[in-house]
Amino acid sequence: MKKTLSLVLSLMMILTTFTALPFNAFADEHPAASTIRVGDTEGYEYSLSTEKPYYKNNTTEATSESEGANVAYDESTGILTLNNYEGCFIGINGSGDVTVKLVGTSTINAWQFCINAEKSNLEITSDNNGVLNLSNQMNNSAGIVTQWGSNNENDLTISGNAIINYNTSIDGQSYGFRAGKTLSIIDNAKVSITTTSTKDYDSIYGLYASNIIINTEEEVSINLGTTKYYCYALFALNNFELLNVKKLSVIAYGEDTYSIIYPNETYETLVNMPGYSVEEDCTDSKYTLVLTKRIHTHTMSAVAAKAATCSIAGNNAYYKCADCEKYFKDAAGTQETTVAAETIAATGKHTSDKGTVTKKATPTATGTKVYKCTVCNKTIKTETIAKCAKYANPITVKVKTATVKFSKLKKKNQTVAQNNAFTISKAQGKVTYTKSSGNKKITVASNGKITIKKGLKKGTYKVKIKVTAAGNATYKAATKTVTVTIKVK
């Protein structure tokens, strides 16, 4: 019994959870073809289907044949194409995103709603200036709606090169375009709404949504031409943004400027839009506001192209207007750009010089060679120079002629001191002397002292002597052979 009660409670909780979910919690991305309804010119409506997603003007049912179709719907993309369509109604009863693509000129003369997409986010667009002409014949009507009797928050976007004209004369409440959340007119879309009513005190709206955004290169015109009150040309429950428009023309009857735009405080922002000329008028409760974008002539200065280096960014050639401070790729100012878009990043590739020896190598220590970038002077690499071989010994030897008196030599040996026979300079290491050739009565000591032995006769004698510098850690050993002249007289 307890298990059964627990199961029942669990099921009740699951059902309660599903009931609490929003209507479109499990909606497909795009509505099914079966939720698309198309009206003919006589007021009859026909549903499309997956098998028959096409409709041709003045026929009594949908078709599977695409050739010559004036209405075509692709379930996989949510694209509903109107190609020179003529009828009384387009209805979208499924949830999801739908894009209406205009080709040629399509006309909808409706009884109440021209296009009703209460459960969908709707975008109406064109790639080639497609036109959509709308009108209706009933009270409590609208041109295009994504919200009517429910509190949904669906968007309505008019984009691309779409041209939409809504022109109707009724005796009661009317909406031009109405969205639950955001109504946007963007890109190069062009919109014209003209509505007249003769009934007292029924509300007439041009654009109605929580948020309204106008950001188009083309014109937006709203003319609520009536002698009655309660006209609201631009009715934004939360927020209104005018970012860009070629020309905004508004005519509406009322007791204050809220007939032009609601909330009323937005009016001051509107008439003080920078870059626009403003025309205002109020005569017999008829409010007129025309904002026209000033034609700006650029005062261009050229920014020369500069190649990027290893460490400094470069740039493409571009232009800057001194007045509007915008940047352009061309001198005519037709291709806007940014400094960031035209900047060429530094290459990070350095160009090396041939290197500079900052410390010479010696036989006892390594040296250093530094390579730097010829552009930015940054050190690219440091190279070690190996120790070099010992230097050649720079010893120089000059000899002198030594003279010995014969009278003294007869008595005993005679000597000639090293410095009287040799002049040694720049010798590296210990210097020693070795006799290479000459008279045997002449000897040479290792310290360079020359001995002439007793008994040598008078005469001039040549003695070859090797003078050796032993060298050291830096210099090699070296030997010089010289000839010393000894005179005995």
Q: How far apart are CA 31 and CA 305, in angstroms?
A: 52
Rounded to two decimals, the pTM is 0.60
Write the pLDDT tens digit of every residue in 420-439: 999 999 999 999 999 999 99
Q: How far apart are CA 409 and CA 453, in angstroms?
A: 7
Write the pLDDT tens digit of every residue in 323-337: 888 999 999 999 999
Q: How far apart are CA 436 and CA 442, in angstroms?
A: 11
Q: How far apart are CA 138 and CA 134, in angstroms?
A: 13
Q: Does residue 9 have a pLDDT over 80?
A: no
Contact 313, 344 (CB under 8 A): yes
Write the pLDDT tens digit of every residue in 87-96: 999 999 988 9
pLDDT score recorded for residue 2: 39
Write the pLDDT tens digit of every residue in 261-288: 888 778 888 888 888 999 999 887 888 9
Residue 267, classed as helix, strand or coil, is helix
Comparing CA positions, the residue from 101, 190, 187, 98 lying closest to residue 146 is: 98
Confidence band of 28 (pLDDT split at 50, 70, 90): low
Cite the beta strand spans of 338-392 per DSSP E: 343-344, 356-359, 367-372, 379-385
